[in-house]
Amino acid sequence: HTVPLSLSSPPFLSQAYKQTHSNHLRAALLECLSGFLFSPFFLPAIFFAMKCWLPLLPVLSTLLCLSQGDIGDFSPCLNFFYRYWPPSGLSGTPICQNYTNRYYFATLYSRERRSPWFSAYLYTTPAGKRPKGVWKYEPQLANSNASGVMLPFPIPPKKVDQTVVKSQAVQQDYINSSYTRGHLNPSLHHQNRSERQSTFTLTNVVPQKMDSNYGPWAELERNVNVTLNKYCAGPAYIVTGIIPYRMDRWLKDEHRVAIPEYLWSAYCCPTYSQNLPESLRRTFPTFAAIGRNDPNSTEEMVPVDRTKKKFVGYDVRPMPLTDLEIYLRERYGREIAVFSKQCL
């Protein structure tokens, strides 16, 4: 798409300023406005178009519908990534997760595996009980001309269109399996009901063993919740993804939905309390962890604590972000960077 020069005009930038709630985007917009209005040489509009619109794609694409769909391009939802920079080194289908005509988070999806590589989101302090989620699917994975708004699966589940079945995981994949639906972006890390409901899409879910999902991994999510709520003084960016088996394994051996061997998660909180307790000083501005999804996996990546009485073999190992990226590189065979400049 081409971007008209009027994008750099004060009226347009003022409109964009009013329609965004992000302090970082507002600061960038104010810089653009001041540059346009107070430049002593009144530089050509093209200069300000190049200066302003590139870092502000999340706002501009919403105002001008620069993106024709919600999959295939992260431009409409770059605000869920630190410095608008998605993780590098992984390939897949980008999804801006659209629920009730609003973007709530971003997912990199694998069509071949029918499961996500990662989901990225902004943490918000949760309030209230966990909602009873209605499971949804992504229409544009099945039909590029369809609406980009996620839709609930039909009832009964057997009425799902075959184009949807071919393009992504469906509810039947998890029925009578030994795996639960494991959120990458958990509802626990969000405040209002709509934010939480948006996480109940199978494009945000991987096959996760129950003892992991309701045991150590759930404890990690709760601990992150407490830590960020108490000590993060600004936006907190979270990316949660998977580490595949060296040889893919599939849900119910049907070669449809790939099972991860490990889950990983990392957060970036660039603005945080200076009164951190000693035990948390190494967890800011970044923190990462890897969790086991197979009790029989080897222990090089995540050792097993056999003194525990419950959830043995589903341990979660906290670690620095740099260590996580080393493990990702070893398994994927290429450099993977989770946050821009490691959130520094």
| pLDDT of 202 higher than 80 | yes
What is the rounded CA–CA span in Å between residue 194 and residue 337? Answer: 30
Same domain? 233 vs 321:
yes
| pLDDT of 46 higher than 50 | no
| Domain range for 145 | 69-343
Neighbouring-strand partners of residue 181: 207
For residues 217-232, average pLDDT: 98
What is the rounded CA–CA span in Å between residue 56 and residue 197? Answer: 27
CATH number of residue 243's parent domain? 3.40.570.10
Same domain? 204 vs 315:
yes
Do 234 and 201 form a contact (C-beta atoms < 8 A)? Answer: no
Confidence of residue 165 (pLDDT cuts 50, 70, 90): very high
Same domain? 57 vs 133:
no
What is the rounded CA–CA span in Å between residue 233 and residue 227? Answer: 11
Q: What is the pLDDT of residue 127?
A: 82
Q: What does 226-238 look like in DSSP terms, one character per residue?
A: HHHHHHB-S--EE
Tokens of 25: 């985007």
What is the rounded CA–CA span in Å between residue 23 and residue 29? Answer: 10
CB atoms within 10 A of CB 34: 10
- Domain final residue, candidates 31, 51, 66: 66
Say which range, 20-29, 108-117, 293-302, 314-323, has the weakest mean pLDDT.
20-29
Q: What percent of the chain has pLDDT over 90?
A: 75
What is the rounded CA–CA span in Å between residue 5 and residue 53? Answer: 10
Tell me the residue type at 335: E
Same domain? 26 vs 126:
no
- Domain final residue, candidates 49, 66, 83: 66
pLDDT digits (tens, 9 = 90+) for 252-269: 989 999 999 999 999 999
Beta carbons within 8 Å of 161's beta carbon, 6+ residues apart: 142
| pLDDT of 41 higher than 90 | no
Question: Looking at the 3D structure of the chain, how many domains does it have?
Answer: 2
Q: What is the pLDDT of residue 155?
A: 86
| pLDDT of 303 higher than 90 | yes
Same domain? 55 vs 137:
no
Question: pTM of the full predicted structure?
Answer: 0.82
Same domain? 57 vs 12:
yes
Per 3-state DSSP, the chain is made up of helix, strand and coil in percentages (nearest 5) of: 40, 25, 40
| pLDDT of 66 higher than 80 | no
Same domain? 196 vs 52:
no
Same domain? 115 vs 207:
yes
Instruction: Kindly report the average pLDDT of the chain as a whole number.
Output: 86
Same domain? 149 vs 249:
yes
Q: What is the pLDDT of residue 25?
A: 53
Same domain? 153 vs 246:
yes
Q: What is the pLDDT of residue 27?
A: 52
**H/E run at residue 10:** helix 10-19
| pLDDT of 42 higher than 90 | no
Kindly report the backbone phi and psi dihedral angles of residue 180, in degrees, each rounded to the nearest multiple of 5, phi listed first.
Answer: -95, 170
Same domain? 23 vs 111:
no
pLDDT digits (tens, 9 = 90+) for 104-146: 999 999 999 999 999 999 999 998 777 788 999 999 999 999 9
- Domain final residue, candidates 46, 66, 86: 66
Q: What is the pLDDT of residue 54?
A: 52
Same domain? 40 vs 176:
no
